[in-house]
């Protein structure tokens, strides 16, 4: 057997995504005179767990997968963050994403810390039985870290409500009773919340509405939108903004996508993709690549796929007025600077896609109380929290004359740092 280097397991310090987060903390800290001791504590995760996950595959062989769970900060409450199944999952990315979760939760003033988890795998080529075995073994391996008062996972790229149901059941089996609060994003039948499925996409649209108000921009039939990524976040972002009257002229998934100048029928496109697993052959539309979508002249661009999609190599070709980051970390720091110079109004990821964790928080609260809300109540409470957060960030942006991304991190870190200083240092 040939030895190989497991570069996805080793440390995170030199990874560009992690460094990107550190640079943002440092830059935001300068805006609020951040205590250097707080910066040091925020620059590293609190806990990191690596687990190997053996799974008996359908052909009888045993394959061993690499899994991670990272808790970045728990000052404000239990850790909270998704579980990602993807071939490129690695420790550095998971650590950086856990940091973003900390600042996202602090920004919208949830009583939660930040965490992230993931398994390096390709769920698209695995059977239901294989994914269930993978999930249950992973849950048993991270059991000592998670729990409704410790760390509450949720769906992310490559996972869904069914995955969370398996996590909940495995955890509950080990403690001997049902624990719906151990995860969020569950099916309604076992303690999920109404409004959770579309919450992230809905939150993206709510922040776009707030941005449009301040830019004196109408959202109507003349407003054009392009959406990169057509998973949960991209689909609901497209569906909800289309319901406001805006024209979604382009959508893509991992294999490419479609363009139609007078607007795409979103539900027809979703039905086609679900059936064919590709947009190829979708009628009355032109083919378009992910790279081409990012360079379209549109009013609103929603990157809702993976990180590092807009970089210094293509940022000068972005032609939107509002960039709403449905994905985590889709824009690099260098690209962010270029976009600012071009006058693009960016709604950063920790604000734009915070709807998912806000409604996850609602689900957790409902589960702890065994008292469930209507979908209307959920959406109204989501609007209240996310619009208030947008207002705080926008006011800081106006007062300090800095971009929205730096403003969001500054507002978030200011809230978190006060909590850290009140709690003090142990021992």
Read off the CATH number of the domain in which 176 is found.
3.40.50.10860
Residue 371 covered by a domain? no
**Sequential DSSP letters for 356-400:** HHHHHHHHHHHHHHT----HHHHHHHHHHHHHHHHHHHHHHHHHH
Are 205 and 223 in contact, with CB atoms under 8 Å apart?
Answer: no
Q: Which residues contact 127 (CB under 8 A, 6 or more apart)?
A: 58
The verdict on 212 and 135 lying in the same domain is: no
pLDDT in tens, 316-348: 999 999 999 999 889 988 999 999 999 999 999
One domain for residues 250 and 171: no
**Does 102 fall in a domain?**
yes
Distance CA 331, CA 353 (A): 14
pLDDT digits (tens, 9 = 90+) for 125-142: 999 999 999 999 999 999
Residue 264 burial class via C-beta count within 10 angstroms: exposed 0-12, middle 13-18, buried 19 and up? buried
The stretch 392-418 carries a mean pLDDT of: 97
Residues 228 and 120 reside in one and the same domain: no
For residue 267, give the CATH number of its domain.
Answer: 3.40.50.720
Q: Are residues 147 and 37 in the same domain?
A: yes
- Residue 8: pLDDT band by 50, 70, 90 thresholds? confident
Q: Are residues 230 and 165 in the same domain?
A: no
Q: In the prediction, which pLDDT does 10 show?
A: 67
Domain boundaries, position 247: 199-352
Which ranges constitute the DSSP H helices of 152-219?
A: 161-175, 199-214
Q: Please state the pTM of the whole predicted model.
A: 0.93
- Is 269 in the same domain as 171? no
Would residue 392 count as lying in a domain? no
Q: Which of 80, 104, 109, 116 is catalytic?
A: 116
Q: Which of 302, 329, 352 is the last residue of a domain?
A: 352
Of the residues 337, 352, 367, which one is the last residue of a structural domain?
352
> Which sign, positive or negative, has the C-alpha torsion 12, 18, 23, 25?
negative
245 and 176 share a domain? no
Number of domain units in the chain? 2
Q: What is the mean pLDDT of the chain?
A: 95
Residue 413 within any structural domain of the chain: no
Within a domain: residue 166? yes
Whether residues 132 and 227 share a domain: the answer is: no
The string of pLDDT tens digits covering residues 240-262 is 999 999 999 999 998 899 999 99
- Residue 68 counted as domain residue: yes
Residue 368 lies in a domain: no
Q: What is the mean pLDDT of residues 201-221?
A: 97
231 and 132 part of one domain: no
**CA–CA gap between residue 97 and residue 104 (Å, rounded):** 10
Shared domain for 252 and 148, answered yes or no, is no
**4 pLDDT exceeds 70?**
no
317 is catalytic: no
Residues 158 and 289 in one domain: no
Residues 171 and 267 in one domain: no
Domain assignment present for 406: no
Of 324, 352, 380, the position where a domain reaches its end is 352
**In whole angstroms, how far apart are CA 260 and each of 224, 235, 283?**
11, 16, 10
pLDDT in tens, 72-105: 999 999 999 999 999 999 999 999 999 999 999 9
């Amino acid at each position: 057997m040939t030895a190989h280097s497991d570069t996805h397991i080793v440390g995170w310090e030199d990874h560009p995504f992690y460094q990107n987060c550190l640079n943002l903390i440092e830059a935001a800290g300068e805006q609020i005179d951040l205590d250097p001791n707080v910066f040091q504590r925020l620059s590293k995760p609190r806990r990191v767990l690596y687990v190997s996950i053996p799974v008996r595959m359908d052909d009888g062989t045993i394959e061993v997968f690499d899994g991670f769970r990272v808790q970045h900060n728990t000052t404000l409450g239990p850790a909270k963050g998704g579980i990602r199944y993807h071939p490129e999952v690695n420790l550095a990315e998971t650590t950086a994403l856990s940091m973003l979760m900390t600042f996202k939760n602090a920004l919208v003033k949830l009583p939660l810390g930040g965490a992230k988890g993931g398994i390096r795998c390709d769920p698209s080529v695995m059977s239901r039985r294989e994914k269930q075995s993978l999930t249950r073994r992973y849950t048993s391996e991270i059991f000592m870290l998670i729990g409704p008062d410790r760390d509450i996972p949720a769906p992310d790229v490559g996972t869904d409500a069914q995955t969370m149901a398996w996590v909940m059941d495995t955890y509950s089996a080990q403690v001997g009773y049902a624990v719906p609060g151990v995860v969020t994003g569950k099916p309604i039948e076992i303690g999920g919340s109404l409004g959770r499925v579309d919450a992230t996409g809905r939150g993206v649209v709510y922040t776009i509405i707030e941005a449009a108000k301040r830019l004196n921009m109408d959202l109507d039939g003349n407003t054009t939108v392009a959406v990169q990524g057509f998973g949960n976040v991209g689909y609901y972002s497209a569906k909800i903004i289309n319901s406001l009257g805006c024209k979604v002229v382009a959508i893509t998934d991992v294999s490419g996508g479609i363009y139609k100048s007078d607007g795409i029928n979103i539900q027809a496109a979703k039905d086609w993709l679900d059936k064919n697993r590709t947009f190829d052959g979708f009628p009355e539309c032109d083919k378009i690549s992910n790279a081409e979508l990012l360079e379209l002249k549109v009013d609103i661009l929603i990157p809702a796929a993976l990180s590092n999609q807009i970089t210094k190599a293509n940022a000068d070709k972005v032609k939107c007025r509002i960039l709403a980051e449905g994905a985590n970390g889709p824009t690099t720091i260098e690209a962010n600077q270029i976009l600012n110079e071009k006058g693009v109004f960016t709604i950063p990821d920790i604000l734009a896609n915070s709807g998912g964790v806000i409604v996850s928080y609602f689900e957790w609260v409902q589960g702890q109380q065994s008292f469930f809300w209507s979908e209307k109540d959920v959406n109204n409470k989501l609007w209240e929290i996310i619009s208030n957060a947008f207002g705080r960030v926008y006011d800081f942006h106006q007062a300090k004359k800095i971009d929205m991304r730096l403003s969001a991190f500054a507002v978030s870190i200011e809230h978190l740092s006060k909590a850290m200083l009140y709690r003090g240092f142990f021992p």
